[in-house]
Structure 1
Amino acid sequence: MYRFLLTPRWLAAAALTVAASVVMVFLGNWQLHRYQERSAINARIDAADSAEPVPLTSALVKPTEPGKVGPMPGKSKAWTKVTMTGRYDAAHEIQARGRTVDGNVGFEIVTPLVLTDGTAVLVDRGWVPPQTADATAPPVAAPPPTGQVTVVGQLHLTESRPSGISQRDGRIDTRRISLPHLADKIPYPLYGAYVLVTDPAAGFTAIPIDHEDSWQNGGYAIQWWLFAVMALFVYGWQARKEAHGDHPAKPRVDRVQAADDRLAAVPTARKPD
């Protein structure tokens, strides 16, 4: 009954169905991997809220060359809560423009904290709005405290896609906090991640740490797997339909009636008188 499956047409359809199903299974597995990866990030974010801070030097590798960024940590170090002691260098403060918090566009103020050993880490002291409704207007931000301070914050990995750097309003002005791009503007060996202050000073808004949308990837994984099953089901359903002759009935021609109609249409020959 199913010998027709060995015909070239059905063999090609089978190969195409299997190939499509395999691709969709791989896409589902990739989305599952993204779900697991994002879920791990969310777990680290939640764990960092209640964790005790660890020394910066235990989380990051110490940089050695002035004007250069040190080794960058892996993703597993992101959001680690750290503590460090040093003095702020307001002369090399950075303003990162076009930064959005709670739907409002403003600036993040990032100041180098010079540690006792001469190395430095960039500290994001928080978000401030522009002076006017114009989002490009320079911000007014309180200067960092003087003298030796202890800072507690969470590690943030360097941002990709670096933007241009200029001097504006007495600060280094940029759009992205890209450490390799900023390192030559800072005259100290620079750690390979920057720090978000967890409890910013008055006038600053803490930078929120958004959770990853892992459930979206989980939904996509299930969706791709269902598509793979559906492709195989449709092939089997079509094969069964073909094997059992479940085709729409063709109009039946009544051959006898058709013959009679043709005869009636032929003129009857007259007999000679």
Structure 2
Amino acid sequence: MYRFLLTPRWLGILALTLAAAAVMVLLGNWQLSRYQERAAINERIDETATLAPVPVDHVLPRPDGPAGTVGPATPAGAAWTRVTVTGRYDSTNVIMIRSRTVASRVGFEVLTPLRLADGSAVLVDRGWIPPAEGGGALARPEVPAVPSGEVTVVGRVHLSESKPDAVTRRDGRIETRRIAVPALARELPYPVYSAYLLLDEQTPAADPAFSAIPIRHENDWQNGGYVVQWWLFAAMALVGFCWAARREARGDLKDGDRDRLGQDRLDQPAPATPGG
């Protein structure tokens, strides 16, 4: 009944079906790994939110190179850890990060190097401020002055953004689109930690003109949906092949094929009757 599956045509269909199903399963597995990675990030964000901060050099490798360089790479597991550090803000090297969106509004994030007692610095994202009135999204606003004297910062570790953008100086301030720490460090006269901090708390208190940078959770459910989608497609391909084979085996032919088969039978000579 199913010997037709050994014909070249059906063997080719089977090979194509299996190859397509295998590719879909692999795509589903890849999306599953992305789901697991993103879910782990979300769990870490939630877990570290309530933990007491630890000294920054307990989490981030200390930079010990020359001025304009970054320290050793930050371990991926250090992301979102709450740390505390004390130093003095460098008001001469304020960094403006343009075209950043908070609460559906485009403005600037303001990074300021915090100089530590050992001569190194860590970049602190002090928050978001809107552009200057009437000047469009790129109109540079007035930035609140940094506190004088020593400042103690509590913040969340944020890994350097991977896509650097051109770094320029305008009116004495550094400006760019991406927070790529190595590119920014080249503009600074001291070594810099390889990650930066999102400000949570500051002593003395931060200026109320700043809006806190929200920590966005990863969209892991999207990847989870893709996993189900690709695996369903693989199953549908196999079920479709089985359905087509079953249909073929039952002789469920197209109307044209059935008509031709009937005509062939009419053209055959009638069998001789016994005794005729």
Q: Is TM > 0.5 for Structure 1 vs Structure 2?
A: yes
Is 1:99–1:106's contact at 8 Å kept on the other side of the alignment?
yes
- 1:255/1:58 CA distance change after superposition, 3 Å: closer
Alignment correspondent of 2:74: 73
Contact 1:138 1:169 (8 Å CA) reproduced: no
Q: Residue 271 of structure 1 corresponds to which residue in structure 2?
A: none
CA gap 1:254/1:186 in 2 versus in 1, 3 angstroms? closer
- 1:55 matched to 2:48? The reply is no
Q: Which residue of 2 aligns with 1:126?
A: 127
What is the TM-score when the length of structure 2 is the normalising length? 0.89
Paired residues, number: 256
Q: Distance in 2 between matches of 1:208 and 1:6?
A: 61
Q: How many angstroms apart in 2 are the aligned matches of 1:254 and 1:123? A: 86
Displacement after TM superposition at 1:255 (Å)? 9.4
Q: CA deviation at 1:77?
A: 1.3
CA distance in 2 between partners of 1:62 and 1:103 (Å): 36
Q: Distance in 2 between matches of 1:230 and 1:255?
A: 37
Contact 1:108 1:125 in 2 (8 A): yes
SS in structure 1 opposite 2:152?
A: strand
Q: Which amino acid aligns with 2:101?
A: T
**Residue 38 (structure 2) pairs with residue 38 (structure 1):** yes
Report the TM-score when normalising by structure 1. Answer: 0.90
**Residue in structure 2 matched with residue 27 of structure 1 by the alignment:** 27
Q: Does structure 1 residue 168 correspond to structure 2 residue 170?
A: yes
Give the structure 1 partner of residue 115 of structure 2.
114
In 2, Cα distance between equivalents of 1:194 and 1:201: 19
Q: Is 1:212 matched with 2:214?
A: no
Distance in 2 between the 1:21 and 1:132 partners? 57
Q: 1:253, 1:32 → 2: CA distance? A: 55
In 1, distance between residues paired with 2:263 and 2:17?
A: 38
1:60-112 superposed Cα distances (whole Å, 9 cap, x missing partner): 11111121011121322111111001111111110111111111111111000
What is the SS of the residue equivalent to 1:96? strand
What residue identity is the alignment partner of 1:214?
Answer: D
> Aligned partners of 2:16, 2:71: CA distance in 1, in Å?
51
Deviations for 1:128-185, whole angstroms, at most 9, x for unmatched residues? 0111241111111211111111100001111122111221233111111111111111
2:227 is the alignment partner of 1:221: yes
- Please, which runs of 5 or more residues in structure 1 have no aligned partner? 257-273
- 1:213 aligned partner, one-letter code: N
User: What secondary structure is seen at the aligned counterpart in 1 of 2:119?
Assistant: coil
* Structure 2 CA distance for aligned equivalents of residues 168 and 254 of structure 1: 88
Report the Cα distance in structure 2 between the residues aligned to 1:254 and 1:195, rounded to whole angstroms: 83
Aligned residues of 1:165 and 1:173 also touching (Cα < 8 A): yes
Question: Superposed, which structure 2 residues align to 1:3-22 within 5 Å?
Answer: 3-22=3-22
| Structure 2: tracts of 5 or more residues without a match | 267-276
Cross-structure match for 1:99: 100
Instruction: Tell me the equivalent position of 2:83.
Output: 82
* TM-aligned CA distance change 1:174 to 1:241, over 3 Å: same
SS in 2 for 1:236: helix
Q: Distance in 2 between matches of 1:71 and 1:230?
A: 49
Q: Distance in 2 between matches of 1:114 and 1:4?
A: 78
- What amino acid is the match of 2:153? V
Report the Cα distance in structure 2 between the residues aligned to 1:185 and 1:205, rounded to whole angstroms.
26
Contact 1:128/1:140 (<8 A) preserved: no
Q: Who is 2:269 aligned against?
A: none
Q: Percent same amino acid among aligned pairs? A: 57
Q: Which has the larger radius of gyration?
A: 1
Q: Distance in 2 between matches of 1:137 and 1:49?
A: 34
Residue number in structure 1 paired with 2:271: none
Structure 2 distance, partners of 1:46, 1:169, is 40
